[in-house]
């Protein structure tokens, strides 16, 4: 089996594509992969690190306001389609899988025009522009949120698959997360993380919270700042809490996020689709602070899906303070009944066999060619 993967711009598009590719290779060891992204996107670094062959297509996204730059983007798109057709003819894939981001546009469109089976996956509750455009041409669309299917009414076929990133965390061994953090086994701990690059608003809240963590003496806090914020945040926390506190661990990045999530008690985070998929797969309660700086405000829509199900609380960034966040955490972690209810609600939202569902859909599309 030969599969082309494409998706880029953010980890939320890249990691689901990688998860699909890895799952297909596990299930079908003779599978050959090719990832097509942009040379300037995160995928150009992340994908080769995963040992997946990578090729680049140069393309930029459309601006939502009238702009001459959009004319240039159309020209780049057409050139990208030609470059994509060249790569596809060379690789001869059985199917092309796109996971969003503007690079998917020329690659998936080119595949559809060449008669290659195509599948796109939408991670967010509100679909991105590229996937909405491509849905008219592809063989099938997979969605992470059931409510997203309404946005793809004109697609040939849409299926509720969940997010393939969920599969990874379920394979993480219990206890390894606490061990890697130097915490006692089965510790109660709050994981605070602002995404792969960090989030200034969450950092500010953590700095404000730090002097008052002593009010939760049996709870540890693991705070992931993002590499660019690490030094300044750590310095300000040390100033706020001279001598430090054993309850708080401040880290720039987590390379074993799956293991740490598997041991966490509650998560405070942004509401990117892949992160939510991992949390719900594990049945984790959460407090979500959606990023206001994303297209269509889709993180707030993602968060509301969990809130309405009883799996999470949401705090808008403009309303976030360290004091109010600590109060919310305290109210949840010391209420066993509520913790259990939120955990069960979270688990009900999960699609733990997402990668297998996508595999079945890809096999169906290839067989029906």
Q: In this structure, are 273 and 255 located in the same domain? A: yes
Q: Are 134 and 122 in contact (CB under 8 A)?
A: no
Q: In this structure, are 322 and 188 located in the same domain? A: yes
Q: Do the annotations mark residue 12 as ligand-binding? A: yes
For 183, 207, 217, 244, 339, the CA distances from 214, given in Å and listed in that order, are: 17, 14, 5, 11, 21
Q: In this structure, are 97 and 209 located in the same domain? A: no
* DSSP category for residue 41: S
Q: Provide the domain limits for residue 179.
A: 169-348
Q: Do the annotations mark residue 10 as ligand-binding? A: yes
Q: Do the annotations mark residue 196 as ligand-binding? A: yes
Q: In this structure, are 277 and 185 located in the same domain? A: yes
Q: What is the pLDDT of residue 294?
A: 81
The structure's pTM equals 0.84
| Beta strands across the sheet bearing 140-143 | 54-56, 32-37, 2-6, 95-98, 118-122, 140-143, 158-160
Q: What is the pLDDT of residue 25?
A: 96
Q: Which of 306, 247, 246 is nearest to 272 (CA)?
A: 306
Q: Are 165 and 19 in contact (CB under 8 A)?
A: yes
Q: What is the pLDDT of residue 61?
A: 59
Q: In this structure, are 120 and 185 located in the same domain? A: no
Q: In this structure, are 149 and 240 located in the same domain? A: no
CATH of the domain at 328: 3.40.50.2000
Q: In this structure, are 159 and 176 located in the same domain? A: no
Strand runs (DSSP E) across 129-273, as ranges? 140-143, 158-160, 189-193, 220-224, 248-251, 266-269
Q: Do the annotations mark residue 130 as ligand-binding? A: no
Q: In this structure, are 287 and 308 located in the same domain? A: yes
318: how many CB neighbours lie within 10 A of its CB? 7
Q: What is the pLDDT of residue 245?
A: 82
Q: In this structure, are 209 and 337 located in the same domain? A: yes
Q: In this structure, are 200 and 319 located in the same domain? A: yes
Q: Do the annotations mark residue 269 as ligand-binding? A: no
Q: What is the SS3 assignment for 36?
A: strand
Q: In this structure, are 190 and 91 located in the same domain? A: no
Q: In this structure, are 183 and 327 located in the same domain? A: yes
Structure tokens at 238: 């040390």
Torsion angle in degrees (nearest 10) through CA of 306, 274, 270, 155: -70
Domain count, the chain: 2
* Whole-angstrom distance, CA of residue 7 vs CA of residue 183: 37
Q: What is the pLDDT of residue 351?
A: 87
End-to-end alpha carbon distance in the chain: 14
Q: Do the annotations mark residue 239 as ligand-binding? A: no
Per-residue model confidence as pLDDT tens for the chain (369 residues): 999 999 998 888 999 999 999 999 999 999 999 999 999 888 999 999 999 999 999 876 555 555 556 556 778 889 999 999 999 999 999 999 999 998 999 999 999 999 999 999 999 988 988 999 999 999 999 999 988 999 999 999 999 999 998 877 888 888 999 999 999 999 999 999 987 677 899 999 999 999 999 889 999 999 999 888 999 999 999 999 887 788 999 999 998 999 999 999 999 999 999 899 999 999 999 999 999 988 778 899 999 999 999 999 999 999 999 999 999 999 999 999 999 999 999 999 998 789 999 999 999 999 998
């Amino acid at each position: 089996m030969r599969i082309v993967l494409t998706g880029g711009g953010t980890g939320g598009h890249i990691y689901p594509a990688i998860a699909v590719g890895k799952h297909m290779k596990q299930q079908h060891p003779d599978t050959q992969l090719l990832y097509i992204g942009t040379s300037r996107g995160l995928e150009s670094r992340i994908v080769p690190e995963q040992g997946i062959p990578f090729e680049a297509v140069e393309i930029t996204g459309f601006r939502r306001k009238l702009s001459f730059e959009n004319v240039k983007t159309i020209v780049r798109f057409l050139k990208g389609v030609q470059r994509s057709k060249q790569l596809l003819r060379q690789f001869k894939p059985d199917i092309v899988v796109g996971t969003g981001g503007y690079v998917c546009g020329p690659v998936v469109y080119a595949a559809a025009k060449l008669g290659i089976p195509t599948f796109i996956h939408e991670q967010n509750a509100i679909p991105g522009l590229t996937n909405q455009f491509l849905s008219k041409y592809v063989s099938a669309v997979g969605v992470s949120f059931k409510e997203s299917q309404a946005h793809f009414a004109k697609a040939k076929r849409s299926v509720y698959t969940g997010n393939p990133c969920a599969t990874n965390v379920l394979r993480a061994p219990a206890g390894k997360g606490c061990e890697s953090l130097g915490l006692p086994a089965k510790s109660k701990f709050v994981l605070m993380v602002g995404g792969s690059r960090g989030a200034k608003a969450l950092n500010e809240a953590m700095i404000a919270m730090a002097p008052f963590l002593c009010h939760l003496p049996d709870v540890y806090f693991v705070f992931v700042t993002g590499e660019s914020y690490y030094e300044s945040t750590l310095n300000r926390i040390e100033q706020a809490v001279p001598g430090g506190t054993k309850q708080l661990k401040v880290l720039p990045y987590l390379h074993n996020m799956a293991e740490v999530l598997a041991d966490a008690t509650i998560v405070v985070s942004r509401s990117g689709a892949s992160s939510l998929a991992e949390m719900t797969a594990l049945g984790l309660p959460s407090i979500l602070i959606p990023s206001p700086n994303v297209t269509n405000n889709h993180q707030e829509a993602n968060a509301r899906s969990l809130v309405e199900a009883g799996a999470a609380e949401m705090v808008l960034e403009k309303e976030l303070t360290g004091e109010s966040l600590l109060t919310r955490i305290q109210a949840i972690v010391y209420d066993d009944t509520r913790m259990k209810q939120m955990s069960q609600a979270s688990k009900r939202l999960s699609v733990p066999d997402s990668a297998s569902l996508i595999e079945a859909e890809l096999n169906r599309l290839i067989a029906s060619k």
